[in-house]
Chain A
Protein backbone atom coordinates (compact mmCIF):
# COMPACT_ATOMS: atom_id res chain seq x y z
CA UNK A 1 0.00 0.00 0.00
CA UNK A 2 1.35 3.42 -0.94
CA UNK A 3 1.95 5.97 1.85
CA UNK A 4 -0.78 8.17 0.39
CA UNK A 5 -3.39 5.39 0.45
CA UNK A 6 -2.41 4.52 4.05
CA UNK A 7 -2.80 8.08 5.32
CA UNK A 8 -6.09 8.46 3.40
CA UNK A 9 -7.37 5.29 5.08
CA UNK A 10 -6.25 6.54 8.52
CA UNK A 11 -8.00 9.88 7.98
CA UNK A 12 -11.18 8.13 6.83
CA UNK A 13 -11.16 5.76 9.83
CA UNK A 14 -10.56 8.64 12.26
CA UNK A 15 -13.41 10.73 10.84
CA UNK A 16 -15.75 7.73 10.85
CA UNK A 17 -14.95 6.97 14.51
CA UNK A 18 -15.36 10.64 15.52
CA UNK A 19 -18.76 10.74 13.78
CA UNK A 20 -19.80 7.55 15.58
CA UNK A 21 -18.70 8.99 18.96
CA UNK A 22 -20.73 12.18 18.42
CA UNK A 23 -23.75 10.12 17.28
CA UNK A 24 -23.49 7.80 20.30
CA UNK A 25 -23.15 10.78 22.65
CA UNK A 26 -26.35 12.35 21.30
CA UNK A 27 -28.22 9.13 22.11
CA UNK A 28 -27.44 9.42 25.86
CA UNK A 29 -30.77 10.40 27.48
CA UNK A 30 -30.74 13.66 29.42
CA UNK A 31 -31.14 13.58 33.21
CA UNK A 32 -34.86 14.46 33.19
CA UNK A 33 -35.65 11.67 30.75
CA UNK A 34 -33.39 9.14 32.47
CA UNK A 35 -35.05 9.60 35.87
CA UNK A 36 -38.67 10.04 34.79
CA UNK A 37 -41.33 8.20 36.77
CA UNK A 38 -41.97 4.74 35.31
CA UNK A 39 -45.40 4.73 33.65
CA UNK A 40 -47.86 1.82 33.61
CA UNK A 41 -50.86 2.29 31.32
CA UNK A 42 -54.42 1.12 31.75
CA UNK A 43 -58.07 1.91 31.12
CA UNK A 44 -60.81 3.29 33.31
CA UNK A 45 -62.69 0.71 35.43
CA UNK A 46 -59.92 -1.87 35.31
CA UNK A 47 -57.38 -2.54 38.07
CA UNK A 48 -53.98 -1.28 36.96
CA UNK A 49 -50.86 -2.79 38.51
CA UNK A 50 -48.14 -0.15 38.76
CA UNK A 51 -45.79 -2.50 40.71
CA UNK A 52 -45.66 -0.27 43.83
CA UNK A 53 -49.44 0.08 44.00
CA UNK A 54 -52.63 -0.99 42.26
CA UNK A 55 -55.23 1.56 41.24
CA UNK A 56 -58.75 1.38 39.81
CA UNK A 57 -60.55 4.50 38.59
CA UNK A 58 -64.21 3.84 39.36
CA UNK A 59 -65.87 6.96 37.93
CA UNK A 60 -65.30 10.50 36.73
CA UNK A 61 -67.83 13.28 37.37
CA UNK A 62 -68.09 16.97 36.51
CA UNK A 63 -69.30 19.61 38.94
CA UNK A 64 -69.77 23.38 39.26
CA UNK A 65 -68.73 23.43 42.92
CA UNK A 66 -66.96 21.10 45.35
CA UNK A 67 -66.88 21.00 49.16
CA UNK A 68 -65.16 19.00 51.86
CA UNK A 69 -67.60 16.64 53.54
CA UNK A 70 -66.67 16.82 57.20
CA UNK A 71 -67.87 15.68 60.59
CA UNK A 72 -69.21 19.19 61.25
CA UNK A 73 -71.10 19.45 57.99
CA UNK A 74 -69.73 20.40 54.58
CA UNK A 75 -67.29 23.30 54.24
CA UNK A 76 -67.92 26.30 52.02
CA UNK A 77 -68.47 25.36 48.37
CA UNK A 78 -65.66 26.35 46.00
CA UNK A 79 -66.80 27.43 42.57
CA UNK A 80 -64.72 26.29 39.61
CA UNK A 81 -63.03 28.68 37.22
CA UNK A 82 -64.14 26.34 34.46
CA UNK A 83 -65.29 22.94 35.69
CA UNK A 84 -64.35 20.54 38.49
CA UNK A 85 -63.30 17.12 37.22
CA UNK A 86 -63.77 14.68 40.11
CA UNK A 87 -62.29 11.16 39.83
CA UNK A 88 -63.16 8.41 42.31
CA UNK A 89 -60.47 5.77 42.65
CA UNK A 90 -59.24 2.92 44.79
CA UNK A 91 -55.55 2.61 45.63
CA UNK A 92 -53.82 -0.36 47.28
CA UNK A 93 -50.16 -0.13 48.21
CA UNK A 94 -48.13 -3.21 47.31
CA UNK A 95 -45.21 -3.48 49.73
CA UNK A 96 -44.76 -0.22 51.66
CA UNK A 97 -46.98 2.59 53.00
CA UNK A 98 -47.27 5.32 50.37
CA UNK A 99 -47.97 8.64 52.09
CA UNK A 100 -47.29 10.84 49.05
CA UNK A 101 -50.20 10.58 46.64
CA UNK A 102 -50.12 13.00 43.74
CA UNK A 103 -52.00 13.25 40.46
CA UNK A 104 -52.15 15.14 37.19
CA UNK A 105 -54.69 15.25 34.41
CA UNK A 106 -52.95 15.17 31.02
CA UNK A 107 -55.15 16.33 28.17
CA UNK A 108 -55.02 14.97 24.64
CA UNK A 109 -53.44 18.24 23.43
CA UNK A 110 -50.63 18.04 26.00
CA UNK A 111 -51.95 20.51 28.58
CA UNK A 112 -51.39 19.27 32.15
CA UNK A 113 -53.45 20.16 35.25
CA UNK A 114 -52.34 19.28 38.78
CA UNK A 115 -54.85 18.00 41.34
CA UNK A 116 -56.29 20.82 43.44
CA UNK A 117 -55.04 21.20 47.00
CA UNK A 118 -58.01 23.32 48.05
CA UNK A 119 -60.04 20.22 48.93
CA UNK A 120 -58.53 18.78 52.12
CA UNK A 121 -60.28 15.43 51.73
CA UNK A 122 -58.70 14.75 48.34
CA UNK A 123 -56.54 11.61 48.06
CA UNK A 124 -53.59 13.98 47.47
CA UNK A 125 -54.32 15.88 50.69
CA UNK A 126 -52.08 13.79 52.91
CA UNK A 127 -54.94 12.44 55.05
CA UNK A 128 -54.91 9.18 53.10
CA UNK A 129 -51.96 6.90 53.60
CA UNK A 130 -52.38 3.73 51.56
CA UNK A 131 -50.82 0.82 53.48
CA UNK A 132 -49.99 -2.57 51.92
CA UNK A 133 -52.97 -4.81 51.28
CA UNK A 134 -55.70 -2.45 52.47
CA UNK A 135 -57.49 -0.65 49.61
CA UNK A 136 -58.23 3.06 50.13
CA UNK A 137 -61.07 4.71 48.19
CA UNK A 138 -61.15 8.47 47.71
CA UNK A 139 -61.48 11.31 45.25
CA UNK A 140 -59.11 13.54 43.31
CA UNK A 141 -60.38 16.91 42.10
CA UNK A 142 -59.06 18.97 39.20
CA UNK A 143 -60.03 22.48 38.16
CA UNK A 144 -59.90 22.79 34.38
CA UNK A 145 -61.24 25.27 31.78
CA UNK A 146 -64.12 23.46 30.00
CA UNK A 147 -62.61 23.83 26.53
CA UNK A 148 -59.37 22.25 27.73
CA UNK A 149 -61.02 18.94 28.70
CA UNK A 150 -60.09 16.75 25.73
CA UNK A 151 -59.39 13.03 25.94
CA UNK A 152 -57.77 13.21 29.41
CA UNK A 153 -55.42 10.66 30.95
CA UNK A 154 -55.24 10.54 34.75
CA UNK A 155 -51.66 10.10 35.98
CA UNK A 156 -51.59 8.86 39.57
CA UNK A 157 -48.40 8.63 41.55
CA UNK A 158 -48.08 7.15 45.07
CA UNK A 159 -44.64 7.26 46.65
CA UNK A 160 -42.79 6.65 49.89
CA UNK A 161 -41.10 10.08 49.65
CA UNK A 162 -41.70 13.36 47.83
CA UNK A 163 -38.92 12.51 45.38
CA UNK A 164 -40.67 11.38 42.20
CA UNK A 165 -37.60 10.29 40.25
CA UNK A 166 -37.99 6.71 38.99
CA UNK A 167 -41.19 6.30 41.04
CA UNK A 168 -44.14 4.23 39.84
CA UNK A 169 -46.88 6.06 37.97
CA UNK A 170 -50.26 4.79 36.78
CA UNK A 171 -51.55 6.38 33.55
CA UNK A 172 -55.28 5.72 33.28
CA UNK A 173 -56.92 6.64 30.00
CA UNK A 174 -60.36 7.95 30.98
CA UNK A 175 -61.96 7.47 27.56
CA UNK A 176 -63.67 10.86 27.67
CA UNK A 177 -64.02 12.46 24.25
CA UNK A 178 -66.42 13.28 21.45
CA UNK A 179 -70.12 14.00 21.83
CA UNK A 180 -70.51 12.05 25.05
CA UNK A 181 -67.92 14.29 26.75
CA UNK A 182 -69.55 17.47 25.39
CA UNK A 183 -72.93 16.29 26.73
CA UNK A 184 -71.52 15.58 30.17
CA UNK A 185 -69.60 18.89 30.27
CA UNK A 186 -72.77 20.76 29.35
CA UNK A 187 -74.60 19.30 32.34
CA UNK A 188 -72.24 19.33 35.32
CA UNK A 189 -73.56 18.47 38.77
CA UNK A 190 -74.35 21.46 41.00
CA UNK A 191 -72.14 20.24 43.83
CA UNK A 192 -69.96 17.31 44.79
CA UNK A 193 -69.09 16.79 48.46
CA UNK A 194 -65.71 15.09 48.80
CA UNK A 195 -65.64 12.63 51.72
CA UNK A 196 -62.40 11.74 53.49
CA UNK A 197 -60.65 8.71 51.94
CA UNK A 198 -61.83 5.46 53.51
CA UNK A 199 -60.36 1.98 53.79
CA UNK A 200 -62.45 -0.44 51.78
CA UNK A 201 -61.12 -3.87 52.66
Chain B
Protein backbone atom coordinates (compact mmCIF):
# COMPACT_ATOMS: atom_id res chain seq x y z
CA UNK B 1 0.00 0.00 0.00
CA UNK B 2 2.78 2.37 0.91
CA UNK B 3 4.72 1.83 -2.31
CA UNK B 4 1.63 2.79 -4.34
CA UNK B 5 1.49 6.14 -2.58
CA UNK B 6 5.24 6.57 -3.21
CA UNK B 7 4.84 5.90 -6.96
CA UNK B 8 1.95 8.39 -7.13
CA UNK B 9 3.94 11.06 -5.30
CA UNK B 10 7.04 10.59 -7.49
CA UNK B 11 4.95 10.64 -10.68
CA UNK B 12 3.22 13.85 -9.58
CA UNK B 13 6.56 15.45 -8.73
CA UNK B 14 8.09 14.51 -12.10
CA UNK B 15 5.07 15.75 -14.06
CA UNK B 16 4.99 18.96 -12.07
CA UNK B 17 8.70 19.57 -12.63
CA UNK B 18 8.31 18.86 -16.37
CA UNK B 19 5.39 21.29 -16.65
CA UNK B 20 7.33 23.97 -14.78
CA UNK B 21 10.38 23.44 -17.00
CA UNK B 22 8.18 23.70 -20.12
CA UNK B 23 6.60 26.89 -18.80
CA UNK B 24 10.00 28.37 -17.94
CA UNK B 25 11.38 27.65 -21.42
CA UNK B 26 8.45 29.30 -23.20
CA UNK B 27 6.07 26.38 -23.77
CA UNK B 28 5.50 24.31 -26.89
CA UNK B 29 5.84 25.93 -30.33
CA UNK B 30 2.60 26.50 -32.19
CA UNK B 31 2.12 23.66 -34.66
CA UNK B 32 0.19 25.77 -37.14
CA UNK B 33 2.62 28.67 -37.46
CA UNK B 34 2.49 29.96 -41.03
CA UNK B 35 5.86 29.51 -42.73
CA UNK B 36 7.15 32.94 -43.67
CA UNK B 37 9.00 33.02 -46.97
CA UNK B 38 11.32 35.56 -48.53
CA UNK B 39 11.15 36.77 -52.15
CA UNK B 40 13.01 34.19 -54.24
CA UNK B 41 11.95 31.32 -51.96
CA UNK B 42 9.94 28.48 -53.47
CA UNK B 43 6.37 27.77 -52.38
CA UNK B 44 5.27 24.19 -52.95
CA UNK B 45 1.65 22.99 -52.82
CA UNK B 46 -0.08 19.93 -54.25
CA UNK B 47 -1.26 22.06 -57.18
CA UNK B 48 1.78 24.14 -58.19
CA UNK B 49 5.34 25.17 -57.36
CA UNK B 50 5.90 28.91 -57.46
CA UNK B 51 8.97 31.08 -56.89
CA UNK B 52 7.98 34.75 -56.73
CA UNK B 53 10.87 37.13 -57.45
CA UNK B 54 9.51 40.66 -57.44
CA UNK B 55 6.33 42.68 -57.34
CA UNK B 56 5.57 46.06 -58.87
CA UNK B 57 2.70 48.29 -59.90
CA UNK B 58 2.21 48.38 -63.65
CA UNK B 59 -0.31 49.87 -66.03
CA UNK B 60 -2.49 47.04 -67.41
CA UNK B 61 -4.04 46.68 -70.90
CA UNK B 62 -6.92 49.02 -69.99
CA UNK B 63 -4.53 51.65 -68.59
CA UNK B 64 -5.35 51.00 -64.93
CA UNK B 65 -2.85 50.43 -62.15
CA UNK B 66 -2.39 46.70 -61.54
CA UNK B 67 -0.13 44.53 -59.40
CA UNK B 68 2.36 42.42 -61.31
CA UNK B 69 4.37 39.62 -59.74
CA UNK B 70 7.21 38.06 -61.70
CA UNK B 71 7.72 34.42 -60.74
CA UNK B 72 8.77 30.96 -61.86
CA UNK B 73 5.80 28.64 -62.05
CA UNK B 74 5.40 24.95 -62.71
CA UNK B 75 2.15 23.02 -62.40
CA UNK B 76 2.21 19.85 -60.29
CA UNK B 77 -0.91 18.49 -61.98
CA UNK B 78 -0.79 16.17 -64.99
CA UNK B 79 -3.68 18.03 -66.64
CA UNK B 80 -4.02 21.67 -67.75
CA UNK B 81 -4.48 23.95 -64.73
CA UNK B 82 -6.98 26.78 -65.30
CA UNK B 83 -5.55 30.19 -64.33
CA UNK B 84 -8.91 30.88 -62.63
CA UNK B 85 -8.26 28.14 -60.08
CA UNK B 86 -4.81 29.60 -59.36
CA UNK B 87 -6.56 32.88 -58.54
CA UNK B 88 -8.65 31.08 -55.89
CA UNK B 89 -5.71 29.74 -53.91
CA UNK B 90 -3.43 32.82 -53.78
CA UNK B 91 -4.58 35.78 -51.72
CA UNK B 92 -3.17 39.27 -52.26
CA UNK B 93 -3.18 41.67 -49.33
CA UNK B 94 -1.89 45.19 -48.81
CA UNK B 95 -0.98 46.08 -45.20
CA UNK B 96 -3.00 49.33 -45.38
CA UNK B 97 -6.13 47.41 -46.43
CA UNK B 98 -7.05 50.24 -48.82
CA UNK B 99 -6.62 48.22 -52.02
CA UNK B 100 -8.29 44.93 -52.97
CA UNK B 101 -7.01 42.63 -55.71
CA UNK B 102 -9.58 41.18 -58.09
CA UNK B 103 -9.05 39.03 -61.18
CA UNK B 104 -5.70 37.41 -61.96
CA UNK B 105 -4.35 37.12 -65.48
CA UNK B 106 -1.18 35.30 -66.47
CA UNK B 107 1.27 35.89 -69.31
CA UNK B 108 4.60 34.24 -70.04
CA UNK B 109 7.75 36.37 -70.25
CA UNK B 110 8.74 34.51 -73.45
CA UNK B 111 5.50 35.55 -75.23
CA UNK B 112 4.01 38.58 -73.44
CA UNK B 113 1.40 39.15 -76.19
CA UNK B 114 -0.47 35.94 -75.45
CA UNK B 115 -2.84 35.55 -72.51
CA UNK B 116 -2.55 32.18 -70.81
CA UNK B 117 -5.75 30.39 -69.80
CA UNK B 118 -4.29 27.01 -68.84
CA UNK B 119 -0.95 26.22 -67.19
CA UNK B 120 0.22 23.09 -69.01
CA UNK B 121 1.81 20.27 -67.00
CA UNK B 122 5.56 19.73 -66.65
CA UNK B 123 6.46 23.06 -68.28
CA UNK B 124 8.45 25.45 -66.13
CA UNK B 125 7.66 29.02 -67.12
CA UNK B 126 8.76 32.51 -66.13
CA UNK B 127 5.38 34.15 -65.60
CA UNK B 128 3.94 37.62 -65.16
CA UNK B 129 0.97 37.33 -62.80
CA UNK B 130 -1.15 40.46 -63.01
CA UNK B 131 -3.93 41.25 -60.55
CA UNK B 132 -6.34 44.05 -61.38
CA UNK B 133 -6.87 46.31 -58.37
CA UNK B 134 -9.73 48.29 -56.93
CA UNK B 135 -10.33 50.46 -53.92
CA UNK B 136 -11.20 48.38 -50.87
CA UNK B 137 -14.84 48.72 -49.88
CA UNK B 138 -15.16 50.63 -46.61
CA UNK B 139 -11.42 50.32 -46.19
CA UNK B 140 -10.97 53.88 -45.00
CA UNK B 141 -14.15 54.08 -42.96
CA UNK B 142 -15.75 56.77 -45.12
CA UNK B 143 -18.34 54.43 -46.60
CA UNK B 144 -20.01 53.77 -43.25
CA UNK B 145 -23.40 55.36 -42.82
CA UNK B 146 -23.89 57.37 -39.65
CA UNK B 147 -27.33 55.92 -38.87
CA UNK B 148 -26.80 54.85 -35.27
CA UNK B 149 -30.54 54.30 -34.63
CA UNK B 150 -30.65 51.40 -37.04
CA UNK B 151 -29.13 48.29 -35.43
CA UNK B 152 -28.68 46.78 -38.90
CA UNK B 153 -26.65 49.75 -40.18
CA UNK B 154 -23.45 48.68 -41.79
CA UNK B 155 -24.39 45.00 -41.90
CA UNK B 156 -25.12 45.17 -45.60
CA UNK B 157 -28.79 44.34 -45.12
CA UNK B 158 -30.07 47.65 -46.42
CA UNK B 159 -30.93 47.97 -50.09
CA UNK B 160 -28.65 50.20 -52.12
CA UNK B 161 -30.02 53.55 -53.12
CA UNK B 162 -31.67 53.65 -56.52
CA UNK B 163 -31.99 50.95 -59.10
CA UNK B 164 -30.41 47.64 -57.98
CA UNK B 165 -29.65 46.82 -61.63
CA UNK B 166 -27.56 49.86 -62.35
CA UNK B 167 -26.11 49.06 -65.76
CA UNK B 168 -24.29 52.38 -65.90
CA UNK B 169 -22.21 51.44 -62.88
CA UNK B 170 -21.47 48.04 -64.42
CA UNK B 171 -20.22 49.64 -67.61
CA UNK B 172 -18.32 52.34 -65.75
CA UNK B 173 -14.56 52.17 -65.93
CA UNK B 174 -13.35 51.24 -62.43
CA UNK B 175 -11.53 53.89 -60.46
CA UNK B 176 -7.75 53.81 -60.84
CA UNK B 177 -5.97 53.08 -57.57
CA UNK B 178 -2.73 54.89 -58.56
CA UNK B 179 -2.99 57.52 -55.75
CA UNK B 180 -3.42 54.75 -53.16
CA UNK B 181 -0.74 52.59 -54.74
CA UNK B 182 1.86 55.33 -54.28
CA UNK B 183 1.59 54.93 -50.51
CA UNK B 184 2.06 51.15 -50.51
CA UNK B 185 5.54 49.79 -50.05
CA UNK B 186 4.89 46.08 -49.78
CA UNK B 187 2.36 43.42 -50.69
CA UNK B 188 1.69 40.13 -48.91
CA UNK B 189 0.86 36.99 -50.84
CA UNK B 190 -0.83 34.21 -48.89
CA UNK B 191 -0.65 30.77 -50.47
CA UNK B 192 -3.29 28.28 -49.33
CA UNK B 193 -2.71 24.56 -49.26
CA UNK B 194 -4.62 22.99 -52.14
CA UNK B 195 -6.60 19.82 -52.77
CA UNK B 196 -8.30 18.31 -55.81
CA UNK B 197 -11.79 17.66 -54.53
CA UNK B 198 -15.48 17.86 -55.38
CA UNK B 199 -17.37 21.02 -54.45
CA UNK B 200 -20.40 21.22 -52.16
CA UNK B 201 -23.09 22.11 -54.70
CA UNK B 202 -21.04 21.55 -57.86
CA UNK B 203 -19.91 17.97 -57.31
CA UNK B 204 -17.36 18.00 -60.13
CA UNK B 205 -13.76 17.79 -58.96
CA UNK B 206 -11.48 20.81 -59.19
CA UNK B 207 -8.58 22.46 -57.36
CA UNK B 208 -9.65 24.15 -54.17
CA UNK B 209 -7.93 25.81 -51.25
CA UNK B 210 -7.99 24.16 -47.84
CA UNK B 211 -8.11 25.95 -44.47
CA UNK B 212 -4.37 25.54 -44.10
CA UNK B 213 -1.86 28.14 -45.26
CA UNK B 214 1.16 26.78 -47.13
CA UNK B 215 3.20 29.99 -46.95
CA UNK B 216 3.07 33.72 -46.64
CA UNK B 217 5.42 36.07 -48.46
CA UNK B 218 5.88 39.84 -48.31
CA UNK B 219 7.36 41.44 -51.40
CA UNK B 220 8.65 45.03 -51.54
CA UNK B 221 6.88 47.11 -54.19
CA UNK B 222 8.46 49.07 -56.99
CA UNK B 223 6.73 51.33 -59.49
CA UNK B 224 6.73 49.87 -63.01
Contact = CB atoms under 8 A, between A and B. Distances in A.
B203 A118 contact: no
Interface in B109-127: 110-111, 113-115, 117-118, 120-123, 125
Interface stretch (A14-22, A42-50, A77-85, A128-136): A77-85
A148 B204 contact: no
Chain B binding surface SS class: loop
Contact of A31 (B110, B121, B203): B203
A32 B205 contact: yes
Contacts of A110: 78
Nearest to B204: A32
Interface string A107-120: 00011111001100
Which of A104, A113, A144, A145 has the most chain B CB atoms inside 10 A of its CB? A113
B80 A31 contact: no
Contacts of B204: 31-32, 35
A143 B80 CA distance: 12
A179 interface: no
A114 B203 contact: no
Contact of B123 (A76, A79, A81, A104): A81
Interface string B127-169: 0000000000000000000000000000000000000000000
Interface string A83-118: 000000000000000000000100000111110011
Nearest to B79: A112
The size class of the interface chain A forms with chain B is 20 to 34
A144 B117 CA distance: 16
Interface residues of B, number: 20
Given A30-B198, A78-B114, 13 more contacts: A31-B203, A31-B204, A32-B198, A81-B110, A81-B125, A111-B121, A111-B122, A112-B80, A114-B118, A114-B120, A117-B115, A117-B117, A144-B120
Contacts of A144: 120
Which of A76, A114, A148 has the most chain B CB atoms inside 10 A of its CB? A114
Contacts of A118: 111, 114
B73 to A, nearest CB: 12
